[in-house]
């Protein structure tokens, strides 16, 4: 890995000394999962945002799937796939962000995977070429969130008072709607009171707020417009 480490160090990031380096992208919701967990755990790390449209040569060596995030450990080893990274970060911490009970932990992991499907529907919203396609993706999101609604406790978080890995996973999902609801009908939150309360509680969490840059909303709108889909035509 010496060659790509040298390339990284040219960017003033001494990954050979950093215990944890997160290779990321400014908008990626999967990156946000890892960042939130790192912040919740108080783990020291360095972050390197790359341009996924112009990936550096070394990136393929640490990310076989060509995706972020990638977690680099002391500049020697790397992990890819966001949920694998989240699980690793949880396991190396003395205090787990998963439930203690084996069934409850597996239950959370099931709904974490379900959340990835919602992110897929969000992609469908901003990639839709016409109104019908966009509305179909929104309907799928509503259906999925209605299912999640039935799993929620009285709050404020997924299973009660404790912020856990599953809360870190859903936080970036809800963040999309802060921008989307300015242009499309997201009134389904009005009939999902527990989801709405959960969304609000997550938005108030310091780790969630600081998982993205201050200009994230503007960057996200620019990204939506660049897709040249039906949604982009709604953004002035």
Residues 179-188 pLDDT 10s: 999 999 999 9
CATH architecture for residues 2-91: 3-Layer(aba) Sandwich (3.40)
Domain ranges in the chain are: 2-91, 102-234
Residues 121-133 pLDDT 10s: 999 999 999 999 9
Angle CA 8–116–176, to nearest 5: 80
Same fold, 2-91 and 102-234: no
DSSP, collapsed to helix, strand or coil, labels residue 78 as: strand
Per-residue model confidence (pLDDT) at position 9: 45
Average of pLDDT values for 200-217? Answer: 98
Please tell me the number of Cα atoms within 13 Å of 17 on its side-chain side. 4
Per-residue model confidence (pLDDT) at position 15: 53
Residues 59-88 pLDDT 10s: 998 999 999 999 999 878 999 999 999 999
* pLDDT(91) > 60: yes
Give the CA radius of gyration of the chain: 18
Per-residue model confidence (pLDDT) at position 180: 98
Residue 38's nearest CA partner among 74, 4, 71 is: 71
Per-residue model confidence (pLDDT) at position 17: 56
102-234 fold: Glutathione S-transferase Yfyf (Class Pi); Chain A, domain 2 (1.20.1050)
* pLDDT(2) > 90: no
* pLDDT(8) > 90: no
> How many Å apart are CA 32 and CA 24, to the nearest integer?
9
């Amino acid at each position: 890995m010496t060659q790509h480490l040298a390339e990284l160090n040219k960017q003033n990031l001494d990954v050979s000394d950093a215990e944890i380096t997160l290779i990321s992208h400014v908008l990626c919701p999967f990156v946000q999962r890892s960042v939130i967990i790192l912040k919740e755990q108080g783990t020291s790390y360095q972050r390197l945002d790359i341009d996924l449209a112009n990936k550096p040569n070394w990136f393929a060596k640490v990310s076989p799937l060509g995706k972020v995030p990638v977690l680099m450990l002391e500049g020697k080893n790397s992990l890819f796939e966001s949920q694998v990274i989240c699980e690793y970060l949880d396991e190396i911490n003395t205090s787990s962000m998963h439930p203690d009970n084996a069934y409850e932990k597996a239950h959370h992991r099931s709904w974490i995977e379900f959340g990835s499907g919602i992110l897929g529907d969000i992609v469908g919203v901003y990639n839709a070429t016409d109104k019908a396609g966009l509305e179909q993706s929104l309907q799928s999101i509503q259906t999925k969130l209605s299912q999640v609604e039935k799993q929620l406790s009285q709050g404020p978080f997924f299973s009660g008072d404790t912020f856990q890995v599953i809360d870190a996973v859903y936080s970036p999902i809800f963040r999309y709607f802060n921008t989307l609801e300015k242009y499309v009908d997201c009134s389904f939150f009005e009939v999902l009171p527990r989801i709405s309360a959960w969304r609000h509680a997550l938005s108030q969490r310091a780790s969630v707020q600081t998982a993205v840059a201050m200009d994230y909303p503007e960057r996200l709108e620019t990204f939506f417009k660049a897709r040249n889909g039906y949604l982009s035509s709604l953004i002035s």
